[in-house]
Each structure stands twice: as C-alpha cells, then as structure tokens.
Structure 1
Amino acid sequence: MQTLKEIPCGTTVTVKKLNGEGAVKRRIMDMGITKGCSVFVRKVAPLGDPVEVTVRGYELSLRKQDAELIVVE
C-alpha cells in the first residue's frame, strides 16, 4: 500500500482510498481528489514538501502530510 508522498515524479497513479478524519478528509475531497480519480505527480520539492500534482486537468500543490493520507496504486 503506497501513499501519494512515496510516488516518484512523472508517474500517474489512481486513488484507492483517503485516510484521515473530518475536515482534513473533506478538504482533500474538495480539491477534487476522490477515490478512483487519476493523479499525475509533476514535481516534488527538494525537501519533499510540497508535492505538485495534476488532478482532473488542473495543477495542485499538496503538503507532505496531506499526501500521506492518500493511498494510491
């Protein structure tokens, strides 16, 4: 089971599950990251934070702690 944080640049993955509770999970879902959608990892900052991804045709920057909550395959 991998999280979005562990995925290398240039890789497209599919979201399997969102971990987390309440407001944090809701915020991730509001950004368009839901179960079954595909996510392309564009860039990872030198220290790993933030991770820049493309979701549903738009670019998004995620904090490392948020990326850890997204289980992908």
Structure 2
Amino acid sequence: MKAMELISLFDLPMGQEGTVSSGPLVTSGEATDRELALRLFEIGFVDGERVRIVARGYPGGDPVAVRVGNTMFALRRFEAERVLVAPLRKDEVNA
C-alpha cells in the first residue's frame, strides 16, 4: 500500500474526507503563529481527526467551511493552510 501524500486542508477537494496529520503547523516562532496553532488544535484539528471541506467562498475559495468531527467551522485560507491532511481513498471513508 502506497502512503498518501500530505496536502494542506485548503487544498483538499470539496467533499473529500481527509485525516489530520501532525496537527496545526507552527511555521515561525512568532507568538501569533503559536496562538493560531493552539486555536486550531483547541477546536479539534488534532492528529487522526477526520475532516471534510463542505463549502468554499466565492471567488477564490476563501473562506472554507470545514466539518471536523460533528462540528463545522469557517476557516480563512491562511488558517486552513496550517493544517496538513492525508486525503482518504473511497474505500477508507467508511472504515
């Protein structure tokens, strides 16, 4: 079985499920970046959690409506790009 490539949550196609991998990324040492990562972690973007893009804003797809667990959140592009996901294959969705 080939390992799935990780992509940002923003790049996950609409309607496709994915699994959060490694939680929110901290790309710098700045306090605002750490605060954003903590906020994303607190609302449920934790390693192994299933997510799905359910809607995108127009134009450009920003913001995105994301279902994580049983809750839906709107994330701006820069927030969704901080979450890495492994897209699920169709045979993994109901597993």
User: Scaled by the length of structure 1, what TM-score is found?
Assistant: 0.91
Q: Does 1:33 align with 2:45?
A: yes
What count of residue pairs does the alignment treat as equivalent? 73
Q: Does 1:5 align with 2:3?
A: no
Q: The residue matched to 1:32 in structure 2 has which SS?
A: coil
Larger Rg: 2
Moved over 4 A (4+): none
TM superposition shift of 1:49: 0.9
Q: The residue matched to 1:16 in structure 2 has which SS?
A: strand
Q: Does 1:56 align with 2:69?
A: yes
Q: Does 1:14 align with 2:19?
A: yes
User: Scaled by the length of structure 2, what TM-score is found?
Assistant: 0.72
Amino acid at match of 1:5: F
Identical positions, percent: 27
TM superposition shift of 1:64: 0.3
Q: The residue matched to 1:28 in structure 2 has which SS?
A: helix
Cα RMSD for the two superposed structures: 1.1
What is the CA–CA distance in structure 2 between the aligned matches of 1:49 and 1:31, rounded to whole Å? 19
- In the alignment, structure 1 segments of 5+ residues that lack a partner are none
